[in-house]
Amino acid sequence: MKVTALTRRALQIRREERELTKAGYRKHETDWEIHRGYRYREQIIDAKVSCDGLYVWTKLGPPPGPFDEPT
């Protein structure tokens, strides 16, 4: 198999998708779900820009309680 820059980039994108999906991230437009949808009780905990720079991976979760320690 000939490994070119295009092949390396495709493999990197697939690897990133597999790892971040397993970690609980979503490559999705989540803002409208938070503001207007059924996820209004959640907030964005973490965000990462994809390796190709075209997407944003977001991790959603419940907002911290008043007595929770900041992470």
pLDDT of residue 70: 64
Q: Tell whether 67 is covered by a domain.
A: no
Q: Which residues contact 7 (CB under 8 A, 6 or more apart)?
A: 1
| Mean pLDDT value of segment 38-63 | 88
Q: Tell whether 54 is covered by a domain.
A: yes
Q: Tell whether 69 is covered by a domain.
A: no
pLDDT tens per residue, range 25-43: 998 776 788 878 788 888 8
Domain of residue 51 covers: 5-61
| Mean pLDDT value of segment 35-63 | 88
Q: Tell whether 70 is covered by a domain.
A: no
> Exposed e or buried b for every residue in 1-19, given b needs 16+ CB within 10 A?
eeeeeeeeeeeeeeebbee
Q: Tell whether 26 is covered by a domain.
A: yes
Q: Tell whether the model's pLDDT for residue 47 goes beyond 70.
A: yes
The structural domain count of the chain equals 1
Q: Tell whether 25 is covered by a domain.
A: yes
* pTM assigned to the model: 0.75
